[in-house]
């Protein structure tokens, strides 16, 4: 009897078809997870930026007076309301729209993923 070694053409084609089916199922799912992770990271970064802006506004030396040495500063500690100088909001998340409004003019920034 002949000692057969290797795979037949049918066996190789079956393996290729199985791998193609697995890839067809897995690739779109991985792509969607990557997009979702990037969008989530971007939204988190925008929220951190807004928190930083809020902190800067509330702790700003608006009238040239010294900041409090202890505790958190509030806008009223400086004789002014921080919202008189600037306000901002996230208007929507799809697309992400951030609006920054000052006393004299309004600036709108639209960030699209």
Residue 73 lies in a domain: no
In tens, the pLDDT along 38-89 reads 888 888 888 888 887 777 767 765 554 444 445 554 544 444 444 555 555 6
Q: For residues 98 and 109, is the Cβ–Cβ distance under 8 A?
A: yes
Residue 75 lies in a domain: no
Rounded to 5°, angle at Cα 42 from 44 and 57: 55
Residue 94 lies in a domain: yes
Q: What is the DSSP letter of 68?
A: P
Structural domain range at position 93: 12-66+81-111
Residue 40 lies in a domain: yes
Residue 36 lies in a domain: yes
- Give the pLDDT score at 76: 47
In tens, the pLDDT along 76-86 reads 444 444 455 55
Residue 4 lies in a domain: no
Tokens of 102: 């000052």
Reported as type and span, the H/E element at residue 101 is strand 96-102
Residue 37 lies in a domain: yes
Tally of domains within the chain: 1
Residue 6 lies in a domain: no
* Other beta carbons within 10 Å of 99: 14
């Amino acid at each position: 009897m002949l000692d057969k070694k290797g795979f037949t053409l049918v066996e190789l084609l079956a393996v290729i078809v199985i791998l193609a089916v697995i890839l067809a199922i897995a690739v779109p799912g991985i792509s969607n997870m990557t997009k979702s992770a990037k969008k989530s990271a971007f939204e988190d970064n925008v929220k951190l930026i807004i928190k930083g802006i809020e902190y800067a506004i509330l702790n700003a030396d608006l009238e040239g007076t010294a900041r409090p040495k202890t505790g958190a500063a509030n806008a009223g500690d400086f004789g002014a309301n921080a919202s008189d100088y600037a306000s901002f909001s996230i208007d929507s998340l799809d697309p992400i729209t951030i609006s920054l409004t000052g006393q004299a003019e309004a600036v709108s920034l639209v960030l699209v993923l």
